[in-house]
Structure 1
Amino acid sequence: MNTIQRTGLVAAEIDRHNAQFVAANRGDVERKIEKIKASPFQFYRGTAHLFYHDMRTSTPDSTGALAAAWLCGDAHIANFGSVLDSGDKQVFAIGDFDEGYVGPFIWELRRLAASLVLAARDNKLPGADDPVVIAPAIHAMAAAYRDTILQPYAQLAEDNTSGVVRDTIVAGAENKPGKLLKKYTEAGRFNLQKKKDDLAPLQPARHQAVAAAVAAHVGASNRVLDVCQRVGAGVGSLGKLRYYALLETGVILELKQATQSAVTIAADGMLPPAIYQHHEGCRIARTEWAHMVNPDPLSSYTTIEGVAFYVHEKSPRQEDFEVKDLDSVPKLMEAAPYLGRAVATAHALAAATYRAALPIDMAPVVDAANTAGFLDELADFAFGYAAQTERDWAAWKAAPATPPAA
């Protein structure tokens, strides 16, 4: 495929993917277009669908590397973070499940590995273009995945981590519930004036529909005080409708529009719809429940005006993993194994949790990860795909880019 053909296909796919959100949420689609113009790393974050189009025809060399796991589906470096789990423990883990689906485990590691390269370049690390400098971080991540996949699950916490990962856990633990409420609310309502750039009011009919859906979700014992729309959040998720609901108990629930997983572009049918009740919001909630030891008990799903939503608590103890803090090669090297461990434990836990309904044998995954050359193959892919992403971004950015018509 020549450059012109590739550029045309990339532009068409970006338009196609975002067209589904324009009618209901054009403002966030426009924000997304601007955000992914910023750098190849931001472009990569916002175009998981492009990655899975490429995975349809990109076959790894390692024997067994197509062995299946329950993927989070978008394990780039910015989708990790710290949260207080329902067992009252502050942990570091994957923090985004929108694309959760079953597919070859190597896709998860490939997406993460390429993001390490792009993040290093985004942070302008010395030697970020040199595989000799950055490949060791990819090797460390993949080796940690390999060495963890069949080990007893150990949550990543303050006492067994270091560096930027530990700092993220500590920062999350230091967040107080009142801080989140003060940020978004006043006198039992969302403060739309104070947070005018983040929150938006709903039309009366939509306000009533969202409030009714939340009331049905939480039951009569937890009254709904207010609801609003959340705008401008994330990168890849921009365009999807998001609502916040304030409960009488001081909890803020987030309802996020759920669409078909991007993984299905390359692996449709590998997760039986019956497992997630043929509901995309349920698929996301089930992925979270499969991947975490003590998941959010409020994680669930609902449908509002015919649109599927994933429901979960907006945790006051959540702290995103700040990629910009990996401002040196040693910091990247220190963090990389924890990322591999987090992915491995999520995959192993999901396989064990849903063993009866979804038989996934992790032994082929272990065998593939122990194949000679596996680490080098993953690093080679990461640098090759990072270069492809940079070309796609530059060509797409140079072409006229406007939000597609609905």
Structure 2
Amino acid sequence: MPVHHAKRTVTTERVNLRKPRPTIEALHEQGTEMREHVPREMHGQWKPSAKRGDVLSILAKSNVDRQQNLVPLRMQRMSASPFAFLRGAAAVMAYDLSTTPTIGCNVVLAGDAHLSNFGFYGTPQRELVFDINDFDETVIGPWEWDLKRLTASVNVAGRENGLTRNERRVAVMLAVEGYQENMERLEPMGTLDIWYLHATPGKANILRKVPQKALAVMRKVTDKALHSDNRTLLTKVADKNANGQWHFREDPPILTHVSAALRNKIITALEDYSLTLSRERRHMLSRYSVADVAHRVVGVGSVGTRTYLALLMGKNDDDPLFLQIKEALSPAHAAYLPSRKAEFIHEGQRVVVGQRTLQAASDVMLGWTEIEKRPYYVRQMKNLKASVPIEWMSGDAFNFYCWACGALLARAHARTSEPAIIAGYCGRSGVLRESYAEWAEAYGDQTVTDHAKLAAKINAEDQKLLRNR
């Protein structure tokens, strides 16, 4: 059966292999000259736009296309803390970032590059790597937006970890320093060499020595990641009945079964998804069959998106495969950028291409599909994945993690940009670091204020429910 999205026409351009490339020196100078048009000190300025409107209204708009029965849960999770609010309020920050200065150098953005969206996962060779791991908001836009979201998250997470204002400043400056240092390292490297780079735990870091406290945290997380795969997930979320068939274990509201009709649509969507895989991976998928399908609530910002989990079984009980089928909404930044619908009509494809572009190595099962004319992307649910619990960290461990995330973000951006331009603009001095530290502190205050408004609204609604009982 042909898939609907396979029929769509997407605008593509042939690569021009005859055009001479500018020298690294010329590109670096171009970046340096941009300081005259956009002084680096400007990035430290933050004041909400007069047109910003009420933050609760922005959140309400971001909830319109979600499953309405799960919106209260989403708001509840976001109200847990200012950092949880920041994680879920990508739409709010996208609006705010659209009013900030940029030099006009676009990259493929992660779009949601906060501290908790970096982590460990397995490569196709089953090697553990550390990288960006969330791409729902990926889009082409100014590199500054990713770096500002990262530094804001450093500040807000630092507050919750008990860091003083000066300690938060140091952590933010280290995140920016990681970005500067790695971009400077990457600018003279060959394009293919940059695409080959991986951040592998246990290997010496060529830019900075890893503190002992950070190593201790990383060892715990990598051990967890190495034991996080399809086999270990099977007995955690599913049971085997008397007929030898595996079924998901109900865990409402997190994991719930779907109707027979919806189950059939999801299986059809997975069959359609197979056409977005390369031929050899499609053959690999053909060795499995669907055992069960369930609806799954995920994350903080993603709550309310239609997300399903499919359990597929292969040769025997030691051969399970969990595929997550997640709805791909329009990215938060899209409203403030030129339309690219001619390139990415399908939002699921946008997420997949963004992930393959930014990650050094990506899940072999990445693909996209549609269910009831809504776009989805598909990936493995467990692929040696583990996130670093930033709430555990302070001091050297927290500071190194912030630096590492900044360095990784630079490498991701360098894959699709001219790193020499960004390196030329950023420079080596502390000017950019100081500016982003000022920005992050001011935006941290803004986040605390916005979170308080949401918490007050939820508290008022809870009190009203109690009075009406």
Give the TM interval when normalised to the shorter protein: 0.7 to 0.9
> CA 1:87 to 1:316, structure 2 compared with 1: closer, same or farther past 3 Å?
closer
Paired residue for 1:339?
405
The answer to whether 1:369 aligns with 2:446 is no
- Matched residue count: 375
Q: Deviations over 1:73-121 (max 9, x none)?
A: 0000111111011132101111100000111111101000010111111
* CA distance in 2: counterparts of 1:390 and 1:297, whole angstroms: 40
* CA distance in 1: counterparts of 2:264 and 2:359, whole angstroms: 33
Paired residue for 1:48?
90
> Which of the residues 205, 209, 222 maps onto 1:169?
222
Paired residue for 1:384?
442
* CA distance in 2: counterparts of 1:113 and 1:340, whole angstroms: 9
The answer to whether 1:248 aligns with 2:313 is yes
TM-score between both structures, scaled by the size of structure 2: 0.75
* CA distance in 2: counterparts of 1:336 and 1:392, whole angstroms: 24
> Which of the residues 198, 203, 217 maps onto 1:155?
198
Shift of 1:123: 2.2
Question: Aligned to 1:20, what secondary structure does the other structure show?
Answer: coil
Aligned 8 A contact 2:180 2:428 in 1: no
Aligned 8 A contact 1:68 1:105 in 2: yes
Q: Deviations over 1:255-295 (max 9, x none)?
A: 100011111132233xx33443x100000000111012221
Question: Aligned to 1:124, what secondary structure does the other structure show?
Answer: coil
- Root-mean-square deviation (CA, aligned residues, Å) is 2.3
Paired residue for 1:261?
331
Aligned 8 A contact 1:215 1:223 in 2: no
Aligned 8 A contact 1:55 1:107 in 2: yes
Shift of 1:198: 2.3
Aligned 8 A contact 1:7 1:392 in 2: no
Q: Deviations over 1:137-158 (max 9, x none)?
A: 2222111112212255432222
> CA 1:402 to 1:214, structure 2 compared with 1: closer, same or farther past 3 Å?
farther
Identity of matched residues, %: 26
Paired residue for 2:266?
210
* Bigger shift: residues 96-105 or 181-190: 181-190
> CA 1:274 to 1:168, structure 2 compared with 1: closer, same or farther past 3 Å?
farther
Structure possessing the higher radius of gyration over alpha carbons: 2
* Bigger shift: residues 40-49 or 173-182: 173-182
> CA 1:397 to 1:180, structure 2 compared with 1: closer, same or farther past 3 Å?
same
* Bigger shift: residues 100-109 or 287-296: 287-296
Paired residue for 1:305?
372
Q: Deviations over 1:283-317 (max 9, x none)?
A: 00001110122211210100111110011111241
Question: Aligned to 1:324, what secondary structure does the other structure show?
Answer: helix
Aligned 8 A contact 1:254 1:311 in 2: yes
Paired residue for 2:341?
273
Paired residue for 2:246?
189
> Which of the residues 118, 124, 133 maps onto 1:86?
124
Q: 1:216 is aligned with what amino acid?
A: D
Paired residue for 1:357?
none
> Which of the residues 157, 168, 173 maps onto 1:139?
173
Aligned 8 A contact 1:87 1:294 in 2: no
Paired residue for 1:239?
304
Aligned 8 A contact 2:239 2:249 in 1: no
> Which of the residues 382, 393, 405 maps onto 2:451?
393
* CA distance in 1: counterparts of 2:379 and 2:461, whole angstroms: 32
Q: Which runs of 5+ in 1 are unaligned?
A: 352-359
> CA 1:53 to 1:393, structure 2 compared with 1: closer, same or farther past 3 Å?
same
Question: Aligned to 1:146, what secondary structure does the other structure show?
Answer: helix
The answer to whether 1:76 aligns with 2:133 is no
> CA 1:20 to 1:217, structure 2 compared with 1: closer, same or farther past 3 Å?
closer
Aligned 8 A contact 2:324 2:380 in 1: yes
Aligned 8 A contact 1:83 1:317 in 2: yes
Aligned 8 A contact 1:80 1:92 in 2: yes
Aligned 8 A contact 2:131 2:360 in 1: no
